[in-house]
Amino acid sequence: MKSGYEVDKKADQGKQELVFHLRVQFRRNTSMQGTVKWIDGHKSSSFRSALELGNLINSACASNFLDKEKKLTS
């Protein structure tokens, strides 16, 4: 019988992790400003709110997915 860890490990095969370096420069109330650097994509961008940070990370994930699809169809 397999443990839950072994099953999860097999389910995660083929998934790729994205690595970001986050630098928060200012924090006031519930907002933050700073820069995020996508290590694997060699891109850097500034953000002015947590929502904008989320959108930047989401677009990096989508870009990575599209690049992966292009490689598979080529």
- DSSP 8-class letter at 19: -
- The DSSP element (H or E) to which 23 belongs, if any, is strand 20-28
Distance CA 21, CA 44 (A): 9
Give the SS3 label for residue 56.
helix
**pLDDT by residue, tens only, the chain of 74 residues:** 444 445 455 555 556 678 899 999 998 888 899 999 988 878 899 999 999 999 999 998 888 877 777 777 76
Task: State the pTM of this model.
Answer: 0.68
- Return the domain boundaries, the chain: 16-73
